[in-house]
Structure 1
Amino acid sequence: MKKSGILFLLFLFAFAACRKNIDEVTTIEDPYEPPIVHWTPQTRPVNGSVFGIVADASGTPVAGADVQLGNLTTTTDDYGHFAFNNVTLDARGTVVKVEKAGYFNGSRRFFAVEDQTNRIRIELIEKSFDYAFNATSGGYVETPDGASITFSPNSIAQADGSPYTGEVKVAAKWLDPTNVRTLDLMPGNLQGINRMALETALTTYGMMAVELQGANGEQLNIANGNTATLSMPVPTALQGNAPAEIPLWSYNEEHGVWVEEQFAATLTNGAYVGEVTHFSFWNCDFPGDLVEFQLVLIDESGDPLSYYGVSISLPNSFGSGWGYTCPDGSLAGLIPANEELSLTIYGQCGEALYTQTIGPFTDDVDLGTIAVPVSVLSQTTISGTLIDCDGDPVLNGLVIIEFDGHHITEPVSDGTFDVSFSTCNNTPDVVLTGVNLDAAEQSTPLTAPANTTTDVGQVSACGIQLQNFITITVDDGSGPATVTYTPALIRVDSTPAGIIRVNINFQDSTISGNTSFVYFGFSTLSPSAGDYSDNNYVEIIYDDALSWSLTDNTATGFDSFIVEEFGTFGEPVIGTFEGTLTNTAVQPPQQVAVSGTFNIIWQ
């Protein structure tokens, strides 16, 4: 169960100050200048990859979201997945941004691990303009959670700075600092730039997203020289440690960090109340010095724990650094110095599985390997024998296991399988399908109980034609290697110019730790069977077990791309492809011959 990780951990230090020029008669306040303009980011370029998931606040994958990493862009597939492979990242802070109509912008800042597939999750907050007031008279809005905003009369401006006098629509969402889901919903991470233009770690006591819109959908904000009053409730669990005054921080989308603003918030009747001069995301946070750390998470069997959520927090505090482990179980990041800390591991559904006390640390620290008891990992184990139509063991097959919107695969090479994996605590069952890759046949799906050990006996991969697969053969001159990826997806998108892109893709991580993803497709004005040799594209074919990172340096796609069948929605799309790609997973990069087939239901 190979699993790996990076941790994006940060807490905070706050320093409030006003610069003053003093002469013998008067004291004059300089105009406020955000500290971000004086900040020079530390950088540490590394090579690596990013595999991410975009979901909404309920955890449902968001397809078709626009994702940006520096100058690179892509879109999420039907599972909400995206990938940037073999690119330059920053070990001191890499920012991935996501946009999708109907949602607040999302982002994640993380500390990239070199030569690893860094995994991130970004959950988007629905942007619903549920509140309204008149700009001339001002107004008051309150969310169901008890957060509120008070607007002064004549305090709203249009994007060009001119006064706005009509109806103002407000989208607002408070994020609960005691809910672990907030760490996936919030933008960036908990890293800030204080009033001295220094990097700090942040512990949050609550944050809020706010956007203003005019009656005709025009963008609005607070007019220069005006403020609005934010009030954010402090959960009961945090009130005992809540300071009487706390700095306010706004989110900077360019750098993916929080910036300390000129005003602080005061604890009043169980809520932090403060003035803000503009709207974006706002955050109430508190301080700590930083040290760098690294560690490796494994289970008791020695297998790395991959894609587990990990937080490190101060005792009795729910604000924390947060991230997901990479394929080798490693974690790296920044944590508070001189403090006893709680390290908590979270499962597939956000439930806390394991907590360990660490620290205090006065200097950078390597925590080594931490073994997590298997008993707390919500472990499901399924074993059995995969047979073909003659009752013989399948020697080239797969078992596909699906639960709670997740799917995992594991190769079968001698007919037997014994698969262990983590599920949600409340998952009642998992669904298993056996696949015979040589015969392109599969079994009838069967159900097995979760969170226990089950021997399902013989599973016959016979009688049902395999669909939703991509078979790829790569020959680097030393002999061909062939892999079948299933289940694969097709998504059909229309561009504003009327061009239709048919995207063929696959994303997966096996229990044994292999990460693989495939993205290619073709463009047309009317999807149908035909020759698309001049109108296809290849984004990536990646398989870390085979050292494949195949890209199209010529931007011309495959030399041959034939669609043999293109059914209607719910019917198969079948085709073949062949050409030369560049394998950047080896040094120096190597030209390889690539060919294959696909048979995928359009759904």
Structure 2
Amino acid sequence: MYLLRLSPLLLLLAATACKKIISAETMHPVQEITTAPSSFQGRIIDKSRQPLSNATVFCSGQSTTTDEDGNFVFSNVMVDTNAAVISIKKTGYLDGIRTLMAHAYGHQYLEIMLAPKDLTTSFSGTAVGNVGFTGVNIVFSPNQIYNSANQVYKGTVSVSVDYIYPSDPTLATRMAGDLRGIDNNGHQVGLIPYGQVAVDLKDTSNVALHPDGEHLVNITMNIPGAYRASAPAQIGLYYLDTISGYWKQETLGYKQGTNYTGNIRQGTRWLFATTYAQVTLDANIFQESGVPVANLLTTIATKIDFIPSFTYTNAAGHLTGNVAANQPLILTLTDQCGHLVFQKELGPYTANSIIDTLKTDNLTLCNP
């Protein structure tokens, strides 16, 4: 069986020489909220793919704690099946938040990687907060940081930062939200990331703080070298809406030398991205032996540009997710040790589509 010699997440890096923006002509308005019960099983891991125990996981007002293997379960929680939101907290790590399409009255699997608080600094809430690390710089205004009572916080603001460059091999499990956004025209679009940053702000008692939503936050991110030639002069600047789970465009970022820079008011997770049109794909994946291909990361990338979307199969081998419209695609499966185990060409799809049964070889999968 022939496999791409790149991990699904490194497909982005291979594509930088020919990256382009896919036509947005078939972009569609945001889907109406469809609320239904759904169940979730997942695993919380660190950057070394080791399980994180005793992490607190939240979904639709419910919470649970991961076991010694990093596993968690939610049963029959009411969610927006277009964009279910799961968030995680653990001491020593930045807060995680993931958005996914869910199966109504069904089950969904996912893995979420938490970033350690390696990049930290602090500033006074009454002064300019200039937060700079390799690849990213963020500037807060004086008296811009609020506490949970929405009052100006004048004490020391502790800052933790996680910057993810576009071809980072941990993108699928470490990113906030997913690669779906709402543009300024109210359309749901796929996002091609040029850089993502997460910021946690805490007071001296380790209680969460947030920008006031009125003053501007200036964000500058370095454009990785392989991306610079194709990087457009202006680009969407998005914040993650933690209620809806979607990235939302607030403004534009502008190319200045080897950086993108822009000003934004909302959120603490930010993304520079271009867009492309998507459709929804449902599929059932089984091995030749008839065994479902269960709980595997599924990357469905465009064949020409390798622009990816990510989802997971569930225990029954079923997946649902958004993929690029009108483009030939490559589906790859990655096991829980990060090994690429299968690939197949699909599409193109001009509308929402269902693949009744997709067969793989009999796979040899690792046990992490």
Q: Corresponding residue for 2:220?
A: 231
Q: Corresponding residue for 1:42?
A: 33
Q: Corresponding residue for 1:187?
A: 176
Q: Is the 8 A contact 2:300 2:332 kept in 1?
A: yes
- Is residue 330 of structure 2 the alignment partner of residue 339 of structure 1? no
Q: Corresponding residue for 2:108?
A: 118
The one-letter code of the counterpart of 1:244 is A
**Deviations 1:368-410 (Å, cap 9, x if unpaired)?**
4333344xx4x2xxxxxxxxxxxxxxxxxxxxxxxxxxxxxxx
Q: Matched residues in 1 for 2:196 and 2:185: separation? A: 22
Superposed, which structure 2 residues align to 1:186-205 within 5 Å?
186-205=175-194
- Is residue 288 of structure 2 the alignment partner of residue 275 of structure 1? no
- Pair 98,213 (structure 1): closer, same or farther in 2 beyond 3 Å: closer
Percent identical across equivalent pairs?
A: 27
Please give the secondary structure, in 2, of the residue aligned with 1:183: helix
Q: Corresponding residue for 2:121?
A: 131
**Deviations 1:142-165 (Å, cap 9, x if unpaired)?**
224x2222345x353332565555
- Pair 299,40 (structure 1): closer, same or farther in 2 beyond 3 Å: closer
Please give the secondary structure, in 2, of the residue aligned with 1:125: coil
Q: Corresponding residue for 1:249?
A: 238
Shift of 1:209: 0.5
**Deviations 1:183-227 (Å, cap 9, x if unpaired)?**
211222222222233333323222101133455656544456532
- Is residue 360 of structure 2 the alignment partner of residue 423 of structure 1? no
Please give the secondary structure, in 2, of the residue aligned with 1:338: coil
Q: Matched residues in 2 for 1:96 and 1:88: separation? A: 12
Q: Is the 8 A contact 2:24 2:277 kept in 1?
A: no
Q: Matched residues in 1 for 2:68 and 2:244: separation? A: 28
Structure with greater contact order relative to length (CA < 8 Å, sep ≥ 6): 2
**Deviations 1:4-28 (Å, cap 9, x if unpaired)?**
xxxxxxx99989xxxxxxxxxxxxx
- Is residue 346 of structure 2 the alignment partner of residue 355 of structure 1? no
1:67 corresponds, among 57, 60, 64, to 57
Q: Corresponding residue for 1:177?
A: 166
- Pair 138,318 (structure 1): closer, same or farther in 2 beyond 3 Å: farther
Q: Is the 8 A contact 2:182 2:189 kept in 1?
A: yes
Shift of 1:320: 2.8
Superposed, which structure 2 residues align to 1:101-116 within 5 Å?
101-114=91-104, 116=106
Q: Matched residues in 2 for 1:188 and 1:165: separation? A: 30
Q: Corresponding residue for 2:136?
A: 147
| Segments ≥4 residues shifted beyond 6 Å | 11-15
Q: Is the 8 A contact 2:131 2:138 kept in 1?
A: yes
**Deviations 1:467-493 (Å, cap 9, x if unpaired)?**
xxxxxxxxxxxxxxxxxxxxxxxxxxx
Shift of 1:119: 1.0
- Pair 359,208 (structure 1): closer, same or farther in 2 beyond 3 Å: same
Q: Corresponding residue for 1:482?
A: none
**Deviations 1:545-600 (Å, cap 9, x if unpaired)?**
xxxxxxxxxxxxxxxxxxxxxxxxxxxxxxxxxxxxxxxxxxxxxxxxxxxxxxxx
The one-letter code of the counterpart of 2:366 is T
Superposed, which structure 2 residues align to 1:505-544 within 5 Å?
none
1:303 corresponds, among 269, 274, 291, to 291
Shift of 1:174: 0.2
- Pair 66,367 (structure 1): closer, same or farther in 2 beyond 3 Å: same
The one-letter code of the counterpart of 2:34 is T
- Is residue 154 of structure 2 the alignment partner of residue 211 of structure 1? no
Q: Is the 8 A contact 2:311 2:320 kept in 1?
A: no
Q: Matched residues in 1 for 2:24 and 2:139: separation? A: 25
Shift of 1:106: 1.9
Q: Matched residues in 2 for 1:161 and 1:89: separation? A: 28
2:247 corresponds, among 241, 255, 258, to 258
Please give the secondary structure, in 2, of the residue aligned with 1:130: strand
Q: Matched residues in 2 for 1:344 and 1:223: separation? A: 42
Structure with bigger gyration radius: 1
1:93 corresponds, among 74, 79, 83, to 83
Cα RMSD (Å): 3.3
Structure 1: any 5+ residue segments left out of the alignment?
1-10, 16-37, 380-421, 428-603
- Pair 12,68 (structure 1): closer, same or farther in 2 beyond 3 Å: farther
Q: Matched residues in 1 for 2:81 and 2:214: separation? A: 39
Q: Matched residues in 2 for 1:356 and 1:371: separation? A: 10
- Pair 317,234 (structure 1): closer, same or farther in 2 beyond 3 Å: farther
The one-letter code of the counterpart of 2:33 is Q
Shift of 1:242: 2.8
Tell me how many residue pairs correspond in the alignment: 344
- Pair 347,43 (structure 1): closer, same or farther in 2 beyond 3 Å: same
Q: Matched residues in 1 for 2:242 and 2:165: separation? A: 21
Q: Of Structure 1 and Structure 2, which has the larger fraction of its residues in strand?
A: 1
